[in-house]
A = this chain, B = another copy of it.
Amino acid sequence: MNLGRVAEKLGITKERLQNLHDAVVKQSSWPEPRLLRFEKATSGIEAGTVVFENGEIIYGYPKIRRAMMLGPAVEKHFSGVVAVEEKMNGHNVRISSVDGDVVALTRGGFICPYSTEVAQRLLPEEIFEEHPDLVLCGEMVGPENPYVPKSIYPTDTIDFYLFDLSRKNCKSTLGVHKTHRFAEDHGIRATALLGEFNKDKAPEKIKQIVKRLGRQGREGVVIKDPDNLAAPLKYTSSETNCNDLSVAFRYYNDYALDFFLSRAIREGFQSVEWKESDDERRARALRLGESILLPMVDTIQRKQAGENIAQKVQIRVKSLQTAREFEYHLRRSGMRAIFDQPEPDDDGYLVRITKLVMSTNDKTQALLEGETW
């Protein structure tokens, strides 16, 4: 890798790039191709940005900021018309072809062997033959998403939904219309475009959409400038805020503290903005309280009954190699998981995975035994 040329492309000096090494920029030599990963955002370079050994850069997908008061945020942030897309609940990947091989990068800039196999299976080969510079940004969702398993989407396994396009060595993205046209042209799924609205009508429309999505257990929306002139904003349903809390309180000792608070605060702003009646507010409070209390109660009772606190997920792979590599990938991501023996299934294998939630498991056991806090 020619560090000088890479630094120049990144818009920083070679010395700066060298200084960032270890603290911010990490080397990853597996799976191939080797790459440098920006673990944190720095010098205008998004976290998750990757530089491959051949010098090609795939920039991190920009973090989407959240509207807390939908109306004022849309008013302040956009001009004219906004496009509203469904925000899907899975894991974010960037898919591209490097030296002729399709790879799927996680948010953090790792190559995920499982997502890569899924991408290779789902995406027509000619996409990257025709567009070797293209980066497909999208969400992997479904019950066999081992990070965020969800059964609310029309797939029994895992599917990929495109939500933006970018190019190698390029920070900007191509935006709503080009993305949907591309998906249509190539027969791949894209996140649903739920409408375009004048910004004065948008908050009420989005409220109705988000309420409907919430009733279906779906996450919420991403609001975009159709001409890609302003950064997108996200906004989520109460059901998703509460569902997040419910997963977090099930594994209460394994989640970051701000995860809990941020979701609760969203509920307060939504309740005020939507001018809820006392009854509606009471229903929201009950939903919020139950999403906190009930999963904790369930975890404590399971532990009382001698169960181990763990999360069971499953993946389906074509090759046993992918399963082995994914096991290693989870471990390097700091997750402890037990992989069952792969079960042959159709033309591949089903692999059941038990993700260990050690901190909650041990803490609950200790507290049940009379440990103090």
Interface residues of A (CB under 8 A from B): 65-69, 71-77, 233, 249, 252, 257-258, 260-262, 264-269, 271-272, 281-282, 284-290, 292-294, 296-297, 299-301, 304, 367-373
Task: Give the nearest-CB partner of A248 in chain B.
Answer: B261
Do A369 and B65 touch (CB < 8 A)?
no
Given the known inter-chain contacts A68-B367, A260-B260, please indicate yes or no for A272 contacting B301, CB distance below 8 A. yes
- Cα A299 to Cα B301 in complex, Å, equals 36
Interface-centre pick from A68, A233, A369 (highest chain B CB count, 10 A): A68
Do B289 and A373 touch (CB < 8 A)?
no
Q: Closest Cβ of chain B: how far from A293's Cβ, in Å?
A: 5
The binding surface of chain A is classed by DSSP as helix
Do A371 and B68 touch (CB < 8 A)?
yes
- Cα A264 to Cα B72 in complex, Å, equals 32
Do A72 and B370 touch (CB < 8 A)?
yes
| Residue in contact with A294 in the complex, picked from B72, B285, B290, CB distance below 8 Å | B285
For A372, what are the chain B residues with a Cβ–Cβ distance below 8 Å? Answer: 65-68, 73, 77, 233
Task: Give the nearest-CB partner of A276 in chain B.
Answer: B297
For A301, what are the chain B residues with a Cβ–Cβ distance below 8 Å? Answer: 272
A-B contact pairs, 13 of them (CB 8 A): A65-B373, A69-B368, A72-B370, A260-B264, A262-B373, A267-B293, A269-B367, A272-B301, A281-B293, A282-B290, A285-B289, A285-B293, A287-B289
- Cα A271 to Cα B304 in complex, Å, equals 13
Q: Closest Cβ of chain B: how far from A70's Cβ, in Å?
A: 9
Task: Give the nearest-CB partner of A70 in chain B.
Answer: B370
For A290, what are the chain B residues with a Cβ–Cβ distance below 8 Å? Answer: 282, 285, 289
- Cα A265 to Cα B248 in complex, Å, equals 11
Q: Closest Cβ of chain B: how far from A296's Cβ, in Å?
A: 3
- Cα A281 to Cα B75 in complex, Å, equals 42
Do B286 and A292 touch (CB < 8 A)?
no
Given contacts A66-B372, A284-B289, 20 further A-B contacts (CB under 8 A): A66-B373, A67-B370, A69-B369, A69-B370, A73-B371, A76-B370, A249-B264, A249-B268, A252-B261, A260-B260, A260-B261, A267-B292, A272-B297, A272-B300, A281-B293, A281-B297, A285-B293, A288-B289, A288-B292, A288-B293
